[in-house]
C-alpha cells in the first residue's frame, strides 16, 4: 500500500513539474499536421499541358529555387528536314519553350523562366563554324538567368554537338563564343556566368 501511494505521489509531482515547465504530459504523439502536399521543384507526374503527342522529345532548363532544373517538352520538326536546318528548328523550338510561361502545375512547384519572348535564332553565316547559332539579341546582353537557361538548354540538345557546349553569336559582328553548361552554372545561375571561349573564324 505504501509503495502504491509513493508511486502515485511521484507521478503527481512529475506532472506538476512538467506543467511548471510549460509542457503538458501526454500519452500519445503530438500531431503537427500533415506533410506538405507538394515538394518544391518536384512534379508529381508529367504535365501533359506542356507536351504534345507529336514532336521530338526535348528538355529545357527552368529556374526553380536558386538552381536550374530540367523539364520535358516537345518540339515539332518536319520529317525529312536536312540536319543543318533541323538544328535551327530545334533551337528555335527550345527558345520558344523557354520563353513560354510555366504551366499551372510547374508554377505550383516553384518553376519560373527569365528568357524573354520573341527571341529568334539563325544558323551560321558563311565564315562561321558549322555548329554556330546566332541569336537575335547579343548573348552577353541577356540577363544572367536567361543566358544560363539558354546555354544549358541548347548545349544539351540536338541543336548542338552534344559535348556540353554551344557556339552562340548575336545579330551583329561581335565575336562568336563557345559557352559551356557546368554543374556550378546549373547550381548558381544568377551569380555564375557561363564559362566561354572566343571562337576563331571558320
pLDDT 10s digits, 3-36? 455 445 544 544 444 444 443 433 444 343 444 4
CA distance 91 to 157: 8
Could you tell me which residue, 43 or 137, shows the higher pLDDT?
137
- At 161 the pLDDT is 82
Any residues with CB less than 8 A from the CB of 112 and at least 6 apart, and which? 62, 63, 64, 102
pLDDT of res. 46? 55
Which of 10-14, 55-59, 136-140 has the lowest average pLDDT? 10-14
Distance CA 79, CA 153 (A): 23
- Predicted pLDDT at 39: 52
Tell me how far apart the alpha carbons of residues 31 and 29 are, in angstroms, rounded to a whole number. Answer: 6
Contact 69, 61 (CB under 8 A): yes
More confident residue, 51 or 65: 65
Burial class of residue 101, CB neighbours in 10 A (0-12, 13-18, 19+): exposed
Confidence (pLDDT) at 200? 79
Can you give the pLDDT at residue 83? 87
The rounded mean pLDDT for the chain is: 81
Q: Taking the C-alpha atoms of 98, 131, 77 and 138 in order, what is their torsion angle to the nearest 10 degrees? A: 30
> Mind listing the pLDDT tens digit for each residue in 142-198?
999 999 999 999 998 989 887 889 999 999 888 999 999 999 999 999 999 999 999
Mean pLDDT score, 127-135: 94
For the CA atoms of the chain, what is the radius of gyration?
Answer: 28
Lowest-pLDDT range of 46-55, 105-114, 148-157, 181-190? 46-55
What does the pLDDT read at residue 80? 86
Identify the pLDDT of residue 119.
97
Which residues sit opposite 177 in a β-bridge? Answer: 168, 198
Amino acid at each position: 500500500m505504501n509503495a502504491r501511494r509513493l508511486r502515485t505521489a511521484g507521478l503527481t509531482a512529475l506532472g506538476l513539474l512538467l506543467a511548471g515547465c510549460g509542457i503538458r504530459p501526454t500519452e500519445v504523439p503530438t500531431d503537427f499536421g500533415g506533410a506538405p502536399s507538394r515538394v518544391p521543384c518536384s512534379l508529381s507526374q508529367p504535365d501533359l499541358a506542356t507536351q504534345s503527342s507529336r514532336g521530338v522529345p526535348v528538355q529545357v532548363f527552368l529556374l526553380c529555387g536558386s538552381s536550374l532544373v530540367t523539364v520535358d517538352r516537345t518540339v515539332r520538326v518536319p520529317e525529312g528536314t536536312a540536319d543543318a536546318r533541323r538544328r535551327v528548328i530545334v533551337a528555335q523550338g527550345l527558345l520558344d519553350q523557354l520563353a513560354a510561361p510555366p504551366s499551372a502545375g510547374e508554377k505550383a512547384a516553384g518553376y519560373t523562366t527569365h528568357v524573354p519572348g520573341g527571341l529568334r535564332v539563325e544558323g551560321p553565316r558563311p565564315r562561321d563554324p558549322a555548329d554556330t547559332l546566332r541569336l537575335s539579341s547579343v548573348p552577353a546582353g541577356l540577363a544572367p538567368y536567361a543566358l544560363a537557361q539558354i546555354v544549358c538548354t541548347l548545349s544539351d540538345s540536338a541543336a548542338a554537338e552534344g559535348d556540353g557546349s554551344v557556339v552562340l553569336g548575336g545579330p551583329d559582328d561581335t565575336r562568336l563564343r563557345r559557352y559551356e553548361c557546368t554543374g556550378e552554372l546549373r547550381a548558381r545561375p544568377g551569380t555564375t556566368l557561363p564559362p566561354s571561349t572566343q571562337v576563331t573564324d571558320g
